[in-house]
Every structure is written in structure tokens, then in C-alpha cells.
Amino acid sequence: MKICEISHFRLDMELSEPYTIAYETVSQTSNIILKLVADNGLTGWGCATPDLVVTGETPEQVSRAVEETLEGLLPGKNPFQIARIMHNLKKLQPRSPAFLAMVDMALFDLLARKAGLPLYQLLGGFRDKIATSITIGIVSLEETLGLVKKHLKNGFQVIKLKGGLNLFEDSEKVLKIREKCGYGFALRFDANQGYSLEESMQFMTAVKGAGLEIFEQPTSQNKDESLGRVSQFTPVPVMADESIKTLKDAFRLAADEHTDMVNIKLMKMGGIFESLHVNSVAKAAGLEVMVGCLDESALGISAGLHFALSRANIEFADLDGHLDLIGDPFQGLFHLEDGVLYPSDSPGLGTIKI
């Protein structure tokens, strides 16, 4: 079996509900979609969601990498030699994790389709469903409470609240959510690097009785020690997100005991193959793992879901990046019910109809 055809296209999508986090407001997303065709007619699909802050790439750079690198490298190659292909690509594109994730995803999709299995089963198949959080950006207290009630009514049992711009407003929102909506659901808070060490400690003191499940990336990605001190200060698990973008990051944070949890996103790690290594480091260090996402089409979310389902120590998911996208052609690759994601029984990442 050989790769005989490569094509890609850009998918620009508006968000039905733009959102604000500590360092930006997001109203649209651009995904680059890759299609690999093998000589037996099977196809593999991949998705890149470049982000200058998270992956260091633009959509134009990803498209250029396809044209300048893939089109001369992949034709005639055995798609099942994923380790070799990704090793060679990483040497050619060392600072292009979303590009690498897209290729990796398409290769794994081809492998699972050839095996006739959903990808999560091929990867290990530890579980067949996982609850996801749904994210609320930085909005007013009134809007926040309204969105929490709306999501709970729609069946979600895990709420992720964004903050990091105003310590007082953030703590007030957390406390009011518990006062008005109760404790019958999990509540996570993500500061997106918005706090200093002192502010992080002040925030955790203010919300001490709120039962937060996770405190995500409170301090700058460039200050590992601050992240570690927050982790030591609070009994609430502190999770590294922006601080962990490579396997070396995972090893460093784990070895220095600077975090309790890691957020693995396929786009920032460079795909499933590399993410499996990162997950192994986390497992060896006793760190809890969440699989997260960017503003990805359902194709990218499907890959994250299949990866999350494959390992016993991956117990948390934040895979809601597709929910507000307008015109996503990959809807239907998995099923969401009452806040729980269920993969398709079809081979690979699911049945694609475009």
C-alpha cells in the first residue's frame, strides 16, 4: 500500500459566539485540511489548526509546508511507517506542530481504515466515551451565570470558566456560580497565563470553598517555578497548558515537580504519535492528563477524542472547539449527548462525506 495522491484546502469558519480569553478575542478560525489517497483507494484525513500563540504558525505557513515538503516526500511512501515519516518531517519542519499533527492524523486515519477499526480501538481502546467540559469565555457576571444555567440545562456536567484579566471579577464569578447554580457539576478555571504568582494565590484563597476541579495555567508559560509554587500552595490540581508544548517540556515540568496535570493538545504536540510519548511521561510521573483542543473542526476534535479514549490515565477532556463553528463540513464524526462524547463505530476517524 502506497500513498499516491495528496491534496489540501483551507477551511475558514466564523464562530457563532466569539469568545474572549486573557490574551485575545477569537471570532473565526482557519483549518487546513489534508487528504491522503492510497493506491488501493483508501483515504486518510488530517486537520491543522495553526495558532500564532500556541503553535507558532499561520494558515499560509501550513499550506506552504504541504506544497514544499509533503508533495515531494510522501508520494510512493508506505503510510504505515508513521514513525519514520514523522521523524523525517520533524527534521524538515521542526517548528510546525500543527502541520505535523495534520499529517500524523491523516496517517493514523489511513492505518485504522485499513484495519477496519475505529482509531481509538487501534490505539488501545481503554474506554468508549468521555465527558467533555464546555468553555465560557470572559463575559459579564450576568452573562456567565446565564451561560452556566444554559449548559447545565443542555446536559453538560463540566463547566470550564475562562479568566485572568481581573482577579476580583474572576473570584466573584466562581463564588456566584456556586451560589446560584450549586455544586452538582464540575467547575474548572483557566487563567490562560493571566495571573502573577501572588494573584494566583490570592485567587485560590478567595475561591477556597468553591470546589474547583482544576486550576489551569495560572501563570506565564515562561515561569515554571511560579507554576510549581502555585501547585504546592493549593490542594486543587494545577494544570500546565501553554507551558507544555513539547516532549522536553513534559519531562522538565515532571522532573521538577512544577505541575499536577498536563493538557495535551494534538496541535501543539505535533500529533498522536508524539502525544503518546508525552502521555507516557505524565503517567510515569503520576501526573493527571486532560486532552484539550484549539478551535478545530470536528475532524480535529475526532482525532483528539480517539486519542483520549485510548489510554487509561487520560481521564479528562476539553474537546468543545467545534461547537460554535459555522459551516463545519465534518459534523457527524462522533456523537455528543449530555456532555459526553461517543466515537463513531466506523473505521478511522469516522465516515467523511466530502
**Strand residues in the chain grouped as ranges (E):** 3-21, 24-38, 43-48, 130-131, 134-136, 158-162, 186-190, 212-216, 238-240, 261-264, 288-291, 314-317, 334-337, 340-343
Q: Label residues 41-76 b or e (16+ Cβ within 10 Å = b).
A: ebbbbbbbbbbeebbebebebbbebbeebbeebbee
Per the annotation, the verdict on 12 as an active-site residue is no
Question: Hey, what's the cell of 288?
Answer: 493527571
Identify residue 280 by its one-letter amino acid code.
S
Per the annotation, the verdict on 190 as an active-site residue is yes
Catalytic residue among 57, 104, 170, 241: 241
Catalytic residue among 90, 114, 245, 265: 265
C-alpha angle 15-244-52 in degrees, rounded to nearest 5? 40
Catalytic residue among 114, 162, 173, 245: 162
Q: How many residues does the chain have?
A: 354
Per the annotation, the verdict on 324 as an active-site residue is no
Helix, strand, coil percentages in the chain from 3-state DSSP, rounded to 5: 40, 25, 35
Measure the CA–CA gap between 106 and 44, rounded to whole angstroms.
5
Per the annotation, the verdict on 265 as an active-site residue is yes
Query: What angle separates helix 272-285 from helix 97-115, to the nearest 10 degrees?
Result: 100
Q: Label residues 179-218 b or e (16+ Cβ within 10 Å = b).
A: eebeeebbbbbbbbbbbebebbbebbebbeebebbbbbbb
Q: Label residues 149-158 b or e (16+ Cβ within 10 Å = b).
A: eebbeeebbb
Measure the CA–CA gap between 268 and 275, rounded to whole angstroms.
9
Per the annotation, the verdict on 241 as an active-site residue is yes
* Cα separation values, 168 from 1, 209, 218, Å: 59, 16, 15
Catalytic residue among 216, 242, 295, 328: 216
Active site residues: 162, 190, 216, 241, 265
